[in-house]
Amino acid sequence: MANDQENLLKKVISHAKEYGFVFPSSEIYDGLSAVYDYGQNGVELKNNIKEYWWKFMTQMHDNIVGIDAAIFMHPTVWKASGHVDAFNDPMIDNKDSKKRYRADVLVEDAIGKMEEKIEKEIEKAAKRFGESFDKKMFSETNPRVLEYKKKVDEANERLKNAMTGNDMVAMKQLIVDLEINDPISGTKNWTDVRQFNLMFSTEMGSIAEDANKIYLRPETAQGIFVNFLNVQKTGRMKIPFGIAQIGKAFRNEIVARQFIFRMREFEQMEMQYFVKPGTEMEAYEFWKAKRMKWHQALGLGTENYRFHDHLNLAHYANAACDIQFNFPMGFKELEGIHSRTDFDLKSHEKFSGKKLQYFDTESNQSYVPYVVETSVGLDRLFLSILSNSYKEEKLVPKNIGTDGEEGNERVVLSIPAALAPYKIAVLPLVKKDGLDEKAKSVVDQLKSTFRCYYEEKDTIGRRYRRMDAIGTPYCITIDHQTLQDNTVTLRDRDTMKQERVAIQSLKEKIGESVSMIKLLQSI
């Protein structure tokens, strides 16, 4: 990560804490790794992001409905989905550096290095022999190349066997035999390898038997798959249709860092779109374009988003891509769009013994639908908005001259107005002469329409700074003139420009620019 970018992330983290957006979990006990709490401003921003997603997906698509499934599910769900057997990473610790690694990644890196050596031998020989060089012959006969190749093949074979046979003793032996050093401490002082399932488990009921073991869901999608027929039948849904859900998911990530980008408890907003087999690619392209438009309507800069196609597809997918965002750590996954075929529904049919098919009245046929899913991390969206809108600005003289502005720099969060925690701050210039009462009466008039902040302490300039720092789009100042003619100053967060506005026209004046409806219409 470049230094500026690293600094930006640090600044965003401390700003988020200082201004009540995100706190480390259980901070008085020194926190809990990769778990965070949302504060008084964070929860508002988060709720507004959810509303933006929920309304777009459900209200603006008449063939999409939502559900709210439980976090606990029958344990067989996770057998059928493949998570019990395959949502694993083998991990190993180095006792000197105290760093944790994925054991398979360490072996793959070591194999990669041996392959590089083969390439180097070939390159050297090609130079030595010039025109007459026969690469195939050389690779098949040169003793050194053959020796490396043998080692690579052996290592690959042993890695495959250890992984498929779940043999972590063999995995450790492989790391020892390959003489792998910790990249940080340089030593070979390794712990044993442990297979690590990323799912959290707990027990249901009072008897701690294996049969009572249940999991905290690692994705929300399965709650939708198991309810597919319930919703289709009771909602009389016709294919193509979608089911949307917002909810918590839990993953015991081995390497969890980068603030709320990779958490152990996080929130997903997912939609599974059920289609007729054979039409899934059309749906996939449709949702790719729609989701990208939804992101870009936020106004964080179209250049900050890009698609990234998956080259190694999961065995059940026939197309998959990510929408990446330009985070302070660089372009990283924000949302996944996957064409999952009929894998999940078929597997649930097999494990539950129940039919999960759609009866198509037009063709008089039953079939298991194909699924295209869109899956976005709410916390990652939150981070994309927070990091993109964090700005340190030097105030040019013209701004310093603007009424009440203090100092020559400011930190402002230019959060999209419709998502801002507060839309308006109402500030009496001084707390006397009845200005405070007048200000409170303005709050009373506006608070059923907009979330308002009232503050009477400190100079007006300091209060403006605090509102900038939490991204409040408008400040309304009540001064002595207000008492005479019922006008106020309306200050714009981004331009810092002020204008005189009649109290009765405030709703109309502010309404459009902070409106969720307007934002939804712009997609």
Q: How many residues does the chain have?
A: 523
Smallest gap from residue 369 Cβ to ligand ATP (A): 20
Smallest gap from residue 198 Cβ to ligand ATP (A): 9
Q: Which of 429, 514, 519, 503 shows the shortest CA–CA distance to 472?
A: 514
Identify how many contiguous H helices and E strands the chain contains and give both numbers. Answer: 19, 23
Smallest gap from residue 50 Cβ to ligand ATP (A): 14
Backbone angles phi, psi at 335, to 5 degrees: -140, 145
Q: How far apart are CA 327 and CA 386, in angstroms?
A: 10
- 277: how many CB neighbours lie within 10 A of its CB? 11
- Among positive and negative, which fits the CA dihedral 258, 262, 263, 266? positive
| DSSP secondary structure letter of residue 219 | -
Smallest gap from residue 48 Cβ to ligand ATP (A): 18
Of 232 and 252, which has the nearer Cβ to ligand ATP? 252
Smallest gap from residue 66 Cβ to ligand ATP (A): 18
Beta strand 64-66 pairing with 498-502: unpaired
Smallest gap from residue 319 Cβ to ligand ATP (A): 14
Q: How far apart are CA 512 and CA 500, in angstroms?
A: 18
Of 93 and 270, which has the nearer Cβ to ligand ATP? 270
Rg (CA), the chain: 29
Q: How far apart are CA 71 and CA 201, in angstroms?
A: 12
Q: Which of 443, 423, 325, 318 shows the shortest CA–CA distance to 380?
A: 325
Tell me the C-alpha to C-alpha distance, in Å, between residue 185 and each of 8, 110, 433.
29, 16, 69
Smallest gap from residue 245 Cβ to ligand ATP (A): 13
The residue nearest ligand ATP at its CB is: 377
Smallest gap from residue 268 Cβ to ligand ATP (A): 5
Structure tokens at 62: 């008449």
Of 44 and 219, which has the nearer Cβ to ligand ATP? 219
Of 287 and 450, which has the nearer Cβ to ligand ATP? 287
Smallest gap from residue 263 Cβ to ligand ATP (A): 4
Q: Which of 299, 335, 337 shows the shortest CA–CA distance to 523?
A: 299
Q: How far apart are CA 87 and CA 221, in angstroms?
A: 15
Smallest gap from residue 260 Cβ to ligand ATP (A): 7
Of 266 and 358, which has the nearer Cβ to ligand ATP? 266
Of 275 and 376, which has the nearer Cβ to ligand ATP? 376
In the chain, how long is the greatest CA-to-CA distance?
98
Please give the full DSSP string across 258-295, using - where no structure is assigned: TGGGS-SEEEEEEEEEEE-TT-HHHHHHHHHHHHHHHH
Of 158 and 251, which has the nearer Cβ to ligand ATP? 251
In angstroms, how far is the first alpha carbon of the chain from the final one? 33
Of 231 and 271, which has the nearer Cβ to ligand ATP? 271
Would you tell me which residues interact with ligand ATP (CB under 6 A)?
219, 251, 253, 262-263, 266, 268, 333-336, 375-377, 379-380
Smallest gap from residue 313 Cβ to ligand ATP (A): 12
Burial class (CB in 10 A: 0-12, 13-18, 19+), 464: buried
Q: Torsion angle of alpha carbons 129, 132, 136, 138, nearest 10°?
A: -30
Q: How far apart are CA 440 and CA 435, in angstroms?
A: 9
Q: How far apart are CA 301 and CA 378, in angstroms?
A: 19
Smallest gap from residue 256 Cβ to ligand ATP (A): 7
Of 246 and 427, which has the nearer Cβ to ligand ATP? 246
Amino acid letter for position 88: N
Of 5 and 139, which has the nearer Cβ to ligand ATP? 5
Of 259 and 453, which has the nearer Cβ to ligand ATP? 259
Smallest gap from residue 274 Cβ to ligand ATP (A): 19
Of 261 and 422, which has the nearer Cβ to ligand ATP? 261
Of 247 and 421, which has the nearer Cβ to ligand ATP? 247
What are 70-73's contacts with CB under 8 Å, separation 24+? Answer: 70/223, 71/216, 71/217, 71/247, 71/248, 71/250, 72/204, 72/214, 72/215, 72/216, 72/217, 73/214, 73/215, 73/217, 73/222, 73/223, 73/226
